[in-house]
Amino acid sequence: MRELGWPAAMPTIDRDSIVPIYQQIYEELREAILTGTLPESTRLPPERTLAEKLSVNRSTVVHAYRELVVDGLIEQRVGSGSRVARSAGQPARSADVPWWITLPPWRIGSFPQVLGELAATEHGDRISFVPGVPPLEPSPLAELAKSFERAAGDSDFVLSYGDSEGHLPLREAIAARMRSRGCTVDAREVLVLTGSTQGITLVAQSLAEPGDEIIVEGPTYPGALQIFGIAGLRAIPVAVDADGMRVDHVEAILRTRRPRFIYTMPSLHNPTGVTMNADRRERLLTLAERARVPIVEDDPYGELAQPAMPPLVARSPNYVIYLSTFSKTIAPSLRVGWITAPRTIYERLLLRKQSYDMATSLYVQAGIYDFLSRAYDEHVVRLREELIARRRIAREAIAAHWPKSMRLTGGGGGFYLWATAPREIRARALLDAAERNGATFLFGEAFYAASGGDHNFRLAITPVTREALVEGIRRIGESIAVLAAR
């Protein structure tokens, strides 16, 4: 019964990581077993002992060991505890471990795993400020139902795949809307996507290879960080201030590095709500053109900005790949977005988009096209007004219920408020307290490619009701007071 190697393989855990602790333990032990640092038959410490050494709950270690059992890497027997399985560390193809142990390694957990959380609707009885989706009022439902009724009756829309580029009338309508915002775009440069999240994966996989560097904002959309992590890209964060991305930092990075692209959300930036000013836009485009680095402009909220600015792609169509969606202006469940790109790139994007889902649902596209042609403009105006009203309500509630030491960034509009707590309050601790008090939100670390965000958190001011918006802010205020009093 060997215990060789065990002290060297003692897991180290990082309590500040967004990776769950059980998973950190599991991954370290897994690697130690597969590399032979923990040879076969090595006895692992009892769960209680390891839990005490690491100062974690016993259930955390139980969870980690259970994953290793599922992998076939350790064996557990009543009375003799846990041991490294025989031949677990040998070349796994010929050994007695499941095939999935031999999969290409993936540093799962090294990026925020938030897309599922952002999509999920179940938050118990808590008031949830997590998902950013449109409010119930103004409701697009009645008009949308009419549009879908028309599409559902047409076998041409339901019983075929349709062109993988997208439904041509919809592509034309999208191009016309973009032209009205100052872009010189042709319908043939519009590729309809199944949500703009798809477009982030599309550029991550088409414009870069694993190991390549890219520039992102810090903070930025955490779903994009998950996608870049899965694609194996190394994201270099650039700070955001009240005028948008710090373009001077971009300039400094471009002096020594060759990122594959710059990912930015210049209008109603998620999470800060900031819109990049005109000077910075011009400077960013000039830098990108000079360095020959394309910009990926993610613009889900651009139509909601007030005052509106032309997208970056309007000024530099050959250097900007543009992404947008109807998820924030009509409904997220439609899963329809789009990307525009120069024709040379377009073909490459198209072939890969086909590999994701062949074509975006023609039935849904036909419904959206009908809605666009009848009801969209009025709906967007009302939505913009609702968001402005909610922002005012939220700011008033914050003024009433939060201490002055809390700061709010941005304020241009859109779906989010980005809060900064004073040094003595960590956002993660505040989240724990707020959840016990019946409110939940996303804490800041998920928005940063590297470190940062410990004292930040994001509130989505929709789809909660206006009443819940005020009540949730009040509850968070109570939790701040509790933490500040400690």
Residue 166 interacting with a second copy (CB under 8 A): no
The Cα 28–Cα 8 span in angstroms is: 11
- CB–CB of 213/426 below 8 Å? no
* Largest distance between two CA atoms of the chain: 76
Please tell me what DSSP assigns to residue 189: G
User: Minimum CB separation from a second copy for residue 331, in Å?
Assistant: 5
The Cα 130–Cα 441 span in angstroms is: 5
User: Minimum CB separation from a second copy for residue 349, in Å?
Assistant: 11
The Cα 78–Cα 476 span in angstroms is: 46
User: Minimum CB separation from a second copy for residue 46, in Å?
Assistant: 24
In 3D space, the residue among 465, 467, 468 whose CA is nearest the CA of residue 135 turns out to be 465
* Residue numbers 262-301 binding a second copy by CB under 8 A: 291-294
Residue of the chain from 11, 162, 222, 300 that contacts a second copy (CB under 8 A)? 162
Residue of the chain from 15, 355, 404, 486 that contacts a second copy (CB under 8 A)? 355
Residue of the chain from 35, 57, 318, 373 that contacts a second copy (CB under 8 A)? 318
Structure tokens at 465: 């009701």
User: Minimum CB separation from a second copy for residue 151, in Å?
Assistant: 9
Residue 22 interacting with a second copy (CB under 8 A): no
Amino acid at 373: S
The Cα 26–Cα 29 span in angstroms is: 5
Residue 319 interacting with a second copy (CB under 8 A): yes
Please identify, among the stretches 44-52, 55-63, 334-342, 469-477, the one whose residues bind a second copy according to the rule CB under 8 A.
Answer: 334-342
The Cα 178–Cα 313 span in angstroms is: 10
Please identify, among the stretches 44-52, 137-145, 233-241, 411-419, the one whose residues bind a second copy according to the rule CB under 8 A.
Answer: 137-145
> 416 pairs with which residues across the strands?
460
Amino acid at 160: S
* Residue numbers 223-242 binding a second copy by CB under 8 A: 223, 226-227, 230-231
Amino acid at 354: Q
Q: Give rounded-to-5 percent helix, strand, coil for the chain.
A: 45, 15, 40
End-to-end CA distance of the chain: 49
Map residue 233 onto helix, strand or coil: coil
Map residue 127 onto helix, strand or coil: strand
User: Minimum CB separation from a second copy for residue 306, in Å?
Assistant: 22
Residue of the chain from 1, 8, 103, 485 that contacts a second copy (CB under 8 A)? 103
Strands (E), 182-314: 190-193, 213-218, 234-241, 244-245, 262-264, 295-298
Nearer to a second copy, 363 or 418 (CB): 363
Nearer to a second copy, 1 or 159 (CB): 159
Residue 257 interacting with a second copy (CB under 8 A): no
**Interface characters, 82-101, with a second copy (x: CB under 8 A):** ----------xxx---xxx-
Residue 108 interacting with a second copy (CB under 8 A): yes
Residue 356 interacting with a second copy (CB under 8 A): yes
Residue of the chain from 17, 354, 373, 451 that contacts a second copy (CB under 8 A)? 354
User: Minimum CB separation from a second copy for residue 198, in Å?
Assistant: 5
Nearer to a second copy, 343 or 423 (CB): 343
Residue 157 interacting with a second copy (CB under 8 A): yes
Residue of the chain from 22, 65, 129, 148 that contacts a second copy (CB under 8 A)? 148
Please identify, among the stretches 8-16, 76-84, 155-163, 436-444, the one whose residues bind a second copy according to the rule CB under 8 A.
Answer: 155-163
Nearer to a second copy, 14 or 122 (CB): 122
Q: How far are the Cα atoms of 5, 185, 410, 465 from residue 323, in angstroms, in the given order?
A: 51, 13, 22, 29
Please identify, among the stretches 28-36, 135-143, 277-285, 430-438, the one whose residues bind a second copy according to the rule CB under 8 A.
Answer: 135-143
Residue 69 interacting with a second copy (CB under 8 A): no
Residue 399 interacting with a second copy (CB under 8 A): no
Structure tokens at 426: 């960590």
User: Minimum CB separation from a second copy for residue 100, in Å?
Assistant: 5
Residue of the chain from 60, 82, 113, 316 that contacts a second copy (CB under 8 A)? 113
**Degrees to nearest 5, angle at CA 17 with 13 and 19:** 85
Residue of the chain from 10, 141, 176, 389 that contacts a second copy (CB under 8 A)? 141
Host H or E run for residue 204: helix 196-206
Residue 124 interacting with a second copy (CB under 8 A): no
**Interface characters, 457-486, with a second copy (x: CB under 8 A):** ------x-----------------------
User: Minimum CB separation from a second copy for residue 422, in Å?
Assistant: 33
- CB–CB of 456/427 below 8 Å? yes
Residue 194 interacting with a second copy (CB under 8 A): yes
Amino acid at 284: L
**Degrees to nearest 5, angle at CA 122 with 121 and 127:** 90
Amino acid at 133: V
- CB–CB of 29/9 below 8 Å? yes
Q: Is the four-CA dihedral 70, 72, 78, 79 of positive or negative sign?
A: negative
> How many residues bind to a second copy according to rule CB under 8 A?
96
